[in-house]
Amino acid sequence: MPNNQVFAYIWACREVLKLPVDGFIIDAVQTGSNFCRFARQVYNVSKELVDEWYADTLHHLEISDVYANSQYYPANFTSCGNYGGCRYREACAHAKSQRNIFFGNDFQQEYHPDLEETKPVKLEVIEGGKQ
Ligand code: SF4
d(CA 18, CA 12): 8
Q: Where are the domains of the chain?
A: 1-70, 75-131
Which of the listed residues 67, 77, 87, 102 should we mutate to test ligand 1's pocket, taking the one with most ligand atoms within 8 A of CB? Answer: 77
Please tell me the distance between residue 55's alpha carbon and the centre of ligand 1 in angstroms.
Answer: 26
Confidence of residue 113 (pLDDT cuts 50, 70, 90): confident
Residue 107 pLDDT > 70 = yes
The helix (H) or strand (E) run that includes residue 69 is helix 47-70
Please report the pLDDT score of residue 120 as a whole number.
67
Residue 24, CB-side half-sphere exposure with 13 Å CA sphere: 15
d(CA 53, CA 5): 11
d(CA 8, CA 11): 5
The helix (H) or strand (E) run that includes residue 11 is helix 4-11
Entry pTM:
0.69
Average pLDDT of every residue of the chain: 87
How many percent of the chain have pLDDT more than 70? Answer: 89
Which of the listed residues 67, 92, 98 should we mutate to test ligand 1's pocket, taking the one with most ligand atoms within 8 A of CB? Answer: 92
Per the CB < 8 A criterion, the answer to whether 123 and 111 are in contact is: yes
Please report the pLDDT score of residue 105 as a whole number.
67
